[in-house]
Structure 1
């Protein structure tokens, strides 16, 4: 028996179709091993532990909701990869005029007592400078 997808879900999926790698039509997210990504020490990321992965994604999104300036356009992609929970947050229209956009990939795994961040990757798309319009692993000038 086929399960019907609610119209709102279908529209959301069609609107935010992944522009990243896929495996047989399954979204597998951005590839932080490609050039242009900065690896962040997971232990320096706060919070790096939570009761569930949704709390970690919520904390990541809260970083972009701290101001009412700008016209942020935020896209969130969430998927499982083995026992890992992965999320990618892509933003544009943030109040910093040197940045066209940025993207963060957060990877978490279940541990005793909750979920723990195991990998964090970040990149910027600069509005000026030698890397203008391109993704880079260096903060924008």
Structure 2
């Protein structure tokens, strides 16, 4: 039996207002009053709230962003000394790309899964806050955006 499709009402009880698309993989994430649903690349996962042991949100780590920018600058600064210093710049650029791609990650630890369920909603902070409120959690976050608004 496959998991229900988000946006359908009836016995599933899913509410389309909680459905969001994923950034990194093709798919969506949604939740209702009892469970979290994630579909990535054709694979659907249903996690009951009773089985969730930890819910966390990983935002951008600005220390690593600054460290990566310094690494790029270091590599470019020492190019006249040694062309191999460009490897530092390449490593810094790769680190910046990885940090940008994996920003806004929601991590769900489940009792019967050895690895946590991780996914990247388009608006990770809002989805995380709404999911925590639905699970009757405490105040999950009082985040403010880095550049106003």
Please classify the TM superposition score into its range, dividing by the shorter chain length.
Answer: under 0.3
More strand, by proportion = 1
TM-score of the superposition, structure 2-length normalised?
Answer: 0.23
The structure with the larger Rg is 2
More helix, by proportion = 2
TM-score of the superposition, structure 1-length normalised?
Answer: 0.24
